Structure 1
Amino acid sequence: MSTEVPMYCCALLGETETGKTSFARRHLTGEFVKSYNGNKVYQTYLLEFHTSLGDIRYTLWNSNQIDDFDCLHIQCAIIMTDFSRTRTFQRVPVLQTAIQIRYGNIPVALCANKMDLGRSNGMAYRLIPDHPTQFEYFEMSVKKNVNCEQPFLWLSRRLLGNDQLEFVAKPAVQPPDIPPAHWRTAFKGLALSQLPPIGDDGW
């Protein structure tokens, strides 16, 4: 009996060149691809994670503009900033307010990418609400693959209502049940194929 996998619609927002597309591709392929898409057309990705409670999927909508998501039922959001550039944090309060107005009190992860550059400006901490329940801040490096799963782990815990949830490796697919008679026939055929050829004695 198949179990339906829960799927959530997630907005990925932030200034240009903060690593949004590279973040999405890191989750898709496991590789770091430095990519910048200068156009304003949104991009969509389907991501799947394996958890201690079963699989969970996200449709990740990547855009600079929240207006691109007007027709979508957004259930969670990731705001991407650059750890070393104060300018990329300036629009965060505007995005926080817009998300709250449009989609209600959904979980929002603020991610400061490029922490490998090692120059924190401290502005992110001033953007965290006094009593955050649906908001969390993460420092990460998509390039170095540091903390990249943490935003989705936190979002999954909030969406599924279980703070003990963990990401796990996908279980190996079990081989199908094959009747013993099939194996006997297969092994018999293999044994016959290993017999030496009958020589030609000139008869």
Structure 2
Amino acid sequence: KTTFVKRHIIGELEMKYASRLPFSVYPLHFYTNFGEIIFNVWDTAGQEKLGGVRDGYYIAGQCAIIMFDVTSRITYRNVPQWHKDIIRICGNIPIVLCGNKIDVKDRKLKAKSITYHRKTNMKYYDISALSNYNLEKPFLWLAQKLAGNDDLQLVSQIPLI
């Protein structure tokens, strides 16, 4: 999850990081055909023992990305609980489910076994923070839902000269 966020911030892969906190907040800037959108992304710890701490950071959340690792079945097994926690605290907000590390050869979860999003009407994307695959799609979908405009598109920032 942290690699996914940092890839957006610095535009390249950063492999070395050490989190000492149960969360970090990163403002991610996206430019659209309707202006700039800033997502304040809360990168929360996925460990179950931190669930109560994590719940506090969901308050006032307007949208969410739930991410699991396709090379680890246990992370996918946690998705229903994470989803229920978000709904319990935030209500009916737009939520995207992302399966990360889809380019890794040791994939434990095949596409046909990833079905939770269908039962809950969540949007789903396969992504890879390593190869930069589909990284903007979750944010585009969330921006469209938050703006209530499916014509909203991400654009490159125009450099000011």
Q: TM-score per shorter chain, which class?
A: 0.7 to 0.9
Task: Measure the CA separation in 2 of the matches of 1:165 and 1:100.
Answer: 25
Counterpart amino acid of residue 52 in structure 1: N
* TM-score, scaled relative to structure 1: 0.69
Which of the residues 95, 101, 112 maps onto 1:114? 101
Q: How does 1:40-189 map to 2 (within 5 A)?
A: 40-64=21-45, 65-66=50-51, 67-70=53-56, 72-118=59-105, 119=107, 120-122=109-111, 125-130=114-119, 132=121, 135-173=122-160
Where do 4+ consecutive residues of structure 1 move more than 6 Å? none
Which structure would you say has the larger RCO, counting Cα contacts within 8 Å and 6 or more residues apart?
2
Task: Measure the CA separation in 2 of the matches of 1:140 and 1:75.
Answer: 22
Q: How many residues align?
A: 153
Cα separation, partners in 2 of 1:156 and 1:129, compared to 1, 3 Å: same
Equivalent pair of 2:55/2:85 in contact (CA under 8 Å): no
Counterpart amino acid of residue 152 in structure 2: L
Task: Measure the CA separation in 2 of the matches of 1:131 and 1:62.
Answer: 23
* TM-score, scaled relative to structure 2: 0.85
SS at match of 2:71: coil
Structure 2 unaligned blocks of 5 or more: none
103-112 or 69-78: which moved more?
69-78
Structure richer in helix, relative to its length? 2
Structure with higher Rg: it is 1
Task: Measure the CA separation in 2 of the matches of 1:51 and 1:142.
Answer: 22
SS at match of 1:128: helix
Counterpart amino acid of residue 157 in structure 1: Q
Task: Measure the CA separation in 1 of the matches of 2:120 and 2:79.
Answer: 17
Cα separation, partners in 2 of 1:92 and 1:124, compared to 1, 3 Å: farther
Task: Measure the CA separation in 2 of the matches of 1:110 and 1:73.
Answer: 19
